[in-house]
Amino acid sequence: MSFTYYNVRTNVDPSQEFWIHNADSVEDEVALCAYETTLEVVQAALPRQGAIVDAGCGLARWVIYLRRAGFPVIGLDLSPQPLACARRAVGALPLLASNTVHLPFRDGALAAVLSFGVIEHFEAGPQVALRELWRVLRPGGVAIVAVPYNNYFRRLLINHLRRLRDWQKRRARLPLQFAEYRFSAGELRRFLQETGFEVAAMHPDDFRLPLGKGLFADSGVFFGYRTGLYDVKPGHRHWQMNGRGRLVKTVLDRLSPWWTAGGVLAVAYARK
């Protein structure tokens, strides 16, 4: 069962607002790839030959990281701002400004596509975006898709607290707008199967310690920012857990990495 996440509407376009508040150093963003729990999964699933596209690449952190590892990845994003940031930071890169539901590639042109944190932002659902990924893949081409995960902790507690906060914001007459869905693993699998993919594997998607993805995102909702699982102070690294956070993540990950994983990643192949 998915959960719908809302934020307060402002006069800034939501996609541009994200980059205003998240334009960290490009190299800092690239360094995050080494902490991804799914890094080895991604590298093992990608072919060494053939065109690979990161559809919705943002600051191009995966494009840069994987190209340095020898994968011929091209980046594509709807927003030109993060692409410009990436080019300023590392020089010439094969990056395109384009819509992920109208990819500028012919049918069956690609060996692989990456879609990390993209399809959950379509309010009508992810099917149109997934069908477009299927269209541009060659028969048997691989799609690696990651979305926010409606994990056990969120279903048990965080979602209820977010609904309460949304209700309070509506009572205060603050205009809310759709931000994203958080999907279950079963939903992501079903969406992929319905759009022509054979799902080979599903993995919990988070950061390795001392960083955290799911618990970092949810900490302020449950624990509060002063007593939470990360510190709010000058020089603090984004995504970095404090001592409490590292302890909580260690214990819960030993029970199951699915409990608090920030995302779920699927490896799927185009049936054609």
pLDDT score, position 20: 47
pLDDT score, position 242: 87
What is the band of 8 on the pLDDT scale with cuts at 50, 70, 90?
confident
Q: How would you write 1-44 as a 3-class SS string?
A: CCEEEEEECCCCCHHHHHHHHHCCCHHHHHHHHHHECCHHHHHH
For the chain, the distance separating the N- and C-terminal CA atoms, rounded to the nearest angstrom, is: 29
Domain ranges of the chain: 3-205, 208-263
CA atoms 99, 57, 20, 172: torsion sign: positive
The answer to whether the beta carbons of residues 87 and 81 sit under 8 Å apart is: no
pLDDT score, position 233: 59
pLDDT tens profile 131-171: 999 999 999 999 999 999 999 999 998 899 899 988 999 99
Average pLDDT along the chain: 90
H helix intervals, 23-174: 26-32, 39-45, 61-68, 80-90, 127-136, 152-153, 159-171
pLDDT score, position 34: 98
More confident residue, 64 or 179: 64
Q: What is the CATH number of domain 3-205?
A: 3.40.50.150
More confident residue, 31 or 238: 31
Helix (H) or strand (E) run with residue 218 in it: helix 214-222
pLDDT score, position 217: 87
Residue 222 has pLDDT above 90, yes or no: no
The CA-based angle 178-30-108, given to 5 degrees, is: 70
Q: Tell me which of 6-10, 65-69, 97-101, 111-115 is least confident.
A: 6-10
Q: Tell me which of 157-171, 207-221, 228-242 is least confident.
A: 228-242
pLDDT tens profile 25-57: 889 999 999 999 999 999 999 999 999 999 999
What is the band of 221 on the pLDDT scale with cuts at 50, 70, 90?
low
More confident residue, 12 or 267: 267
pLDDT tens profile 169-182: 999 998 999 989 99
* Alpha-carbon gap, residue 257 to 146, rounded angstroms: 16
The answer to whether the beta carbons of residues 112 and 144 sit under 8 Å apart is: yes
Assessment of whether the complete model's pTM goes beyond 0.85: yes
Residue 228 has pLDDT above 90, yes or no: no
CA atoms 104, 27, 240, 176: torsion sign: negative
pLDDT score, position 29: 92
Q: What average pLDDT does range 12-21 have in this prediction?
A: 53
pLDDT score, position 9: 79
Residue 190 has pLDDT above 80, yes or no: yes
Helices (H) and strands (E) in the chain, counts: 11, 9
